[in-house]
Amino acid sequence: MQDSYNVVIVGSGPAGLTAAIYAARAQLDPLVIEGEPSSTSDQPGGQLMLTTEVENYPGFVDGIMGPELMDTLRKQASRFGAQFLPGKVLSISNPSSPFEIFTTASPAPLTARSVIIATGAKPVMLGLENEDKLLGHGVSTCATCDGFFFREKEIAVVGGGDSALEEALFLTRFATTVHLIHRRHELRASKIMQQRAFDNKKIVIHWNSIVTRLFGDVSLSEIELTDTTDQHTEQLSVEGLFVAIGHTPNTSIFRDTIDMDSDGYIATHNGTYTNIEGVFACGDVQDRVYRQAITSAGSGCMAAIDCERWLAEQ
């Protein structure tokens, strides 16, 4: 592994890997810093590693499993010469090109003429007392990872978007009942997902409800729901709670250098350019509107093209 690169791509979800395919085919010899294995969305492969079937990625008539799609994209990038470094970026020290990148992989920094940030987003948590303690002990953010543990059990999913419904539908394979807890009286998810949830006899929807307390010493045993219309509370005996209430961008390490909005999404202009010359951003880290695998992949392609042109101008 060399220590100086034309382009370092940070993140290995659809955006990072598509940027890697394009940068590698442009003979820029990119290095992808791909993250560290974990159960969260900043692991190698990103959020799709925590997904079951992806039905809406063009080109797959019968759908494809999220991890399989990511494996295919990685192999495709590798085929054209992209290199991969397992690890996380700790900081990017120089304010201008060439950048010095410190990672968890080695004490010595890497040098890069340009950087493509594709660090994605991670799940938002409820912020309740006990939540951290019970994470992995009944509380989860990943149905595909943990659903199997809840065979013949009663469980709950919180959220009303596509993620929550996807999780709820998947969990009906294992659980006896899936309680869907949503804070409003209508779901945010796409109509097709809503219809599937309404049609599934195992899913019980609790409208206008929020989770206000978690109970359990060693593992989750009960949750408290509060009705948002009249504030009355009820206890629900569930052994699992899957939190699917959205995501927050993985941008904390860039906070002091890269311009971002109040929620931490990186600000881009003219495609994928950031405020720092030679640094580009793509995927969920800069997209608060579309947030689809295919739009992430598309912006990864844009970032590689922007980066290639910028390097050619230097």
146 is catalytic: yes
Question: Least distance to ligand NAP from the beta carbon of 102, Å?
Answer: 31
Q: Which of 133, 183, 202, 213 binds ligand NAP (CB under 6 A)?
A: 183
* 162 vs 239 by CB, closer to ligand NAP: 162
* 184 touching ligand NAP, by CB under 6 A: yes
User: Terminus-to-terminus CA distance in the chain, angstroms?
Assistant: 25
* 210 vs 305 by CB, closer to ligand NAP: 210
Which of 29, 62, 132, 146 is an active site residue? 146
Whether 252 and 265 have beta carbons less than 8 Å apart is answered as: no
Euclidean distance between CA atoms 200 and 13, whole angstroms: 31
* 165 vs 220 by CB, closer to ligand NAP: 165
Euclidean distance between CA atoms 112 and 278, whole angstroms: 9
Q: Which of 8, 50, 164, 279 binds ligand NAP (CB under 6 A)?
A: 164
301 is catalytic: no
**Contact window for ligand NAP (CB under 6 A) among 18-26, 94-102, 200-208, 245-253:** 245-253
The candidate with the shortest Cα–Cα distance to 137, out of 212, 216, 211, 210, is 216
Residue count, binding to ligand NAP (CB under 6 A): 18
Whether 179 and 238 have beta carbons less than 8 Å apart is answered as: yes
HSE of 276 in the Cβ direction (CA atoms, 13 Å)?
Answer: 25
Residue with tokens 């820029």: 28
* 291 touching ligand NAP, by CB under 6 A: yes
**Contact window for ligand NAP (CB under 6 A) among 22-30, 74-82, 180-188, 215-223:** 180-188
The candidate with the shortest Cα–Cα distance to 101, out of 11, 39, 177, 216, is 11
Euclidean distance between CA atoms 275 and 219, whole angstroms: 46
**Contact window for ligand NAP (CB under 6 A) among 7-15, 242-250, 267-275, 295-303:** 242-250
Q: Which of 81, 87, 98, 246 binds ligand NAP (CB under 6 A)?
A: 246
- Whether omega before 44 lies within 30 degrees of 0, making that bond cis, reads no
Strand-pair category, 154-158 with 139-140: unpaired
Q: Where on the chain is the footprint of ligand NAP (CB under 6 A)?
A: 56, 158-164, 166, 183-184, 188, 210, 244-247, 291
Active site residues: 142, 145-146
